[in-house]
Chain A
Amino acid sequence: MHDLDSLTAVPSGPSTAPPLEDFLKGLWKENPVFAQMLGMCPTMAITNSVMNAIAMGLATTFVLFGSGVFVSIFRKRIANEVRITTFILIIAAFVQIADMGLEATMPVSHKALGPFIALIVANCLLLARQESFAARNNVWRSALDALGMGIGFTLGLCVVGSVREILGQGSWLGIRVMPATFEPWVIMNLPPGGFFSFGFVLLGLAWWNERKSRRASLRIPVALPDTRPLFEQAV
């Protein structure tokens, strides 16, 4: 699901957080995969192995970085009425570069990812970052934000990819990790496995968050020092 707030209720001014925070927020607090849930199609479509997840994550990071810097440089010149179209065109240009570059340098990965490299254009994460961050911040901050989001996205893909590859093929990044007697779950390689494994990851996160908020709300006072006189404590 889109976190609609991130697309509609965008911040009105430049970021005032410390620059390091611009980078770090993409890794966990506003992680594109787990917190914002943007760009779910690649999260499920190409995560049947960790290698694919890394290749896809790096390609997306490249496009995020390139278009973020570009949009940020020209942010004062882009007319407000046509900004979405302009952003999409800038993103499309970088995706085309990534597509042709990958085809020339890593033909195997390019073949495995298939049309999903071209489909980075249609990844809502990219448009959301340009609209809510790059168009309002200077080049330096936009680059940090794009790198943080890109690495966060890559990590998210790797988590889902690890679950699928370990259960579906008994290996991680091509290295066998499960005992020889382990029967691979074929379903994890098939499309339903994508839905199920991402569902399980989200379920685990929801459980973790609920536990954390429940603990915070209970606030049990722990082991207060006993201030009674000694003779009373003995009783």
Chain B
Amino acid sequence: MSHYFWIFFSAMLVNNFTLVMFLGLCSFIGVTAKVSVAFRLGIADTFVLLITSISASVLNKWVLVHAPYLRIIAFILVIASMVQITEMAVKKWSPTLFRELGIYLPLITTNCAILALAIFQTNRGYGFLEGVTFAFGAGAGLILALSLMASVRERLELADIPSVARGTALVLFVAGGLSLAFMGFSGLMTAQ
């Protein structure tokens, strides 16, 4: 049980996909202007991560043993179809969210966090359950990072910032600060 616990918290905090491993930065910087939207994008990401992890387990077990050179192609194909399904689901269940996420919903395909999950899972030799735990941890980490960033940015809207620093540069400095805070979690692994 503690094995799964560590997989979850390692993916969520110690090796946070966005703040420590620089994965999925495009949406991290593009969609974090409002907390509600950022949070729901995190949920959509988690959903895709979960399905990708399951598909990657199946592919690893049945297909890629015979054809390891197809790895990247197979993963990206699965991810693209899963994102398409998610897009259709979101469009049906929540048209508002569909409009708010805009281009960033189909862009989950090129969100490196998703592909990285499949690759890490393969490299570390995770089984089905370990993979699902890993996906939940990574998803929780994405939700956390996106919501934290959006909360800070909502406050910054009211701050008096020199016009030069407004925009992406400021977002990167805030991200650097958050990343610095997350470095503190690396102590958790020594406790293990």
- Cβ of A113 within 8 Å of any chain B Cβ, yes or no, is no
Are A191 and B26 within 8 A (Cβ)?
no
| Chain B CB within 8 A of A7 CB | yes
A203 contacts B169, C-beta separation under 8 Å: yes
Q: Which of A's residues lie within 8 Å of B, judged by CB?
A: 1-2, 4, 7-8, 37, 40-41, 44-45, 84-85, 88-89, 92-93, 95-96, 99-100, 115, 118-119, 121-124, 127, 187, 190-196, 198-200, 202-203, 206-207, 210
Would A1 and B164 be within 8 Å (CB), given that A89-B76, A96-B69, A122-B115 are in contact? Answer: no
Is A85's CB under 8 angstroms from B183's CB?
no
The chain A residue sitting closest to B102, CB to CB, is A4
Query: At the interface, yes or no: B175 with Cβ under 8 Å from chain A?
Result: yes
- A residues less than 8 Å from B163 (CB atoms): 210
From B14-22, B37-45, B47-55, B130-138, the one touching the partner chain is B14-22
Please measure, in the bound complex, the distance between the C-alpha atom of A127 and the C-alpha atom of B107, giving whole angstroms: 10
Say yes or no: B73 contacts A195, CB within 8 Å: no
How far, in whole Å, are A92 and B75 apart by their CA atoms in the complex?
Answer: 9
List, in ascending order, chain B residues with CB within 8 A of A190's CB: 183
**B110, CB-defined interface residue at 8 Å:** yes
Bound together, the chains give a CA A115 to CA B124 distance in angstroms of 12
Contact A1 B179 (CB under 8 A): no
B176 x A195 contact (CB < 8 A)? yes
Are A99 and B72 interface neighbours, CB within 8 A? yes
Residues of B within 8 A of A99 (CB): 72
Binary interface profile of B, 60-104, with partner A (CB < 8 Å = 1, else 0)? 000000000111110011001000000000000000000000010
- A203 pairs with B176, CB closer than 8 A: no
Q: In the complex, which residues of chain A have a beta carbon less than 8 angstroms from the beta carbon of B168?
A: 1, 37, 202
Q: For residue A194, which residues in chain B have a CB less than 8 angstroms away from its CB?
A: 22, 176, 179
Q: List 17 A-B contacts (CB under 8 A).
A: A2-B107, A8-B103, A45-B22, A92-B77, A95-B72, A99-B72, A115-B116, A119-B115, A122-B109, A191-B20, A191-B179, A192-B179, A195-B179, A202-B169, A202-B172, A203-B169, A210-B163
Chain A residues whose C-beta falls within 8 Å of the C-beta of B139 in the assembled complex = none
Whether A2 contacts B26 by the Cβ 8 Å rule is: yes
Interface residue B165 (Cβ < 8 Å from any Cβ of A): yes
Given contacts A96-B72, A191-B20, A196-B172, 12 further A-B contacts (CB under 8 A): A2-B103, A40-B26, A41-B22, A41-B23, A85-B80, A88-B109, A92-B73, A118-B115, A122-B111, A192-B177, A196-B173, A206-B167
Report the interface size for chain B: residues with CB under 8 A from the other chain: 47
Q: Which residues of A contact B116 (CB under 8 A)?
A: 115, 119, 122
B123 is an interface residue with CB less than 8 A from chain A: yes
A113 → B minimal CB distance (Å): 12
Contact with A along B159-192 (1 / 0, CB 8 A): 0000111011111110111011011000000000
Residues in A with CB closer than 8 Å to B111 are 122
Assess whether A40 is in contact with B29, with CB atoms less than 8 Å apart: yes
Q: Which residues of B contact A202 (CB under 8 A)?
A: 167-169, 172
Residues of A within 8 A of B182 (CB): 191
The residues of A that contact B25 with a CB separation of less than 8 Å are: 40-41, 44
Closest chain-A Cβ to B59's Cβ sits at a distance in Å of 14
* Complex contact B112–A123 (CB within 8 A): yes
CB-CB < 8 A to B23: which residues of A?
Answer: 41, 45, 119
Chain B residues contacting A89 (CB-CB under 8 Å) are: 73, 76-77
Residues in chain B near residue A124, CB distance under 8 A: 26, 107, 110
B119 within 8 A of partner (CB): yes
- Residue B125 is within 8 A (CB to CB) of chain A in the complex: no
Which chain B positions have C-beta within 8 A of A206?
Answer: 164-165, 167, 169
Q: B173: which A residues are within 8 A, CB to CB? A: 195-196, 199
Please give, as numbers and ranges, the residues of chain A lying within 8 Å of B5 by CB-CB distance: none
* B180 surroundings in chain A (CB, below 8 A): 187, 192
Min CB distance B34 to A, Å, is: 15
- Chain A residues, Cβ within 8 Å of B73: 89, 92-93, 96
